[in-house]
Amino acid sequence: MSSGWRNWFAGRGRSLGAGALVLAALAVGRVVTDQLPDAKAVGSAPIERVAQIGEVAHLRVGDVKVVKVQGGKVWSGIVEAKTTPGMWVVADIEFTPRRDEGAISLATIRDDAGHEWSLGRGISTCKLGIPGVPMTCQVAVEVPAKAMSGAELVLRWNPYDRRWDDQAVITLTIDDESAATWAKNEEPIKIPLAKVGR
């Protein structure tokens, strides 16, 4: 084979190798891009103020502290009582509003598998607060009677639009033992009216 043909084949080999590298880079880029979150969703996602039970989460609308979490089949308020085939998770909250419309209007429980349970048939008594005046109140959320890995209680002011705001995220422990105990508890959990002031 003449040197001209050898040079031609060598040049074609380099071109094919470069082309393969470009295709591989494009494929890797596509995989990386597919794994990245949507920029718009990230930009408008709520800011999460993570806290443990007993810790204060400082929100735009006020300071929130979950002081106790309990569960059972029934909750009983001033004018109504509700039972469930699952279980109610009831959180006792200390809330100090910063503004006139300060309230906890949204309460959800979510797990690390992406499931989320909203207030639904439950209740929030954390409303109609007075700016700067502490109140004690409760939320009740209905969930299935099962353990929830990585369960968190999410509390926020606006129940309709979650964009560009903040929310408290309280770490819960709903393990097998807690779920089994709460699912059998038929003693009504009392939910009184919110108490304003100390």
Q: Is 11 exposed, middle or buried (0-12, 13-18, 19+ CB in 10 A)?
A: exposed
Q: Given a cut of 50, is residue 27 above it in pLDDT? A: yes
Higher per-residue pLDDT: 198 or 188: 188
Classify burial at 153, counting beta carbons within 10 Å of its beta carbon; exposed 0-12, middle 13-18, buried 19 or more: buried
Q: How confident is the model at residue 41 (pLDDT cuts 50, 70, 90)?
A: very low
Q: What is the pLDDT of residue 159?
A: 73
Band the pLDDT of 195: cuts 50, 70, 90.
very high
Phi, psi of 177 (to 5 degrees): -65, -45
**CB of 174 closer than 8 Å to CB of 151:** yes
- 176: its two tokens: 């097998």
Contacts for 37 with CB less than 8 Å, ≥ 6 apart = none
* Mean of per-residue pLDDT scores for the chain: 85
Q: Which of 109, 77, 91 is nearest to 188 (CA)?
A: 77
Tokens of 142: 């209905």
Grade residue 111 by pLDDT with cuts at 50, 70 and 90: very high
Does the pLDDT of residue 26 top 90, yes or no? no
pTM given for the model: 0.76
Three-state DSSP class for 178?
helix
Average pLDDT rounded to a whole number, residues 147-176: 89
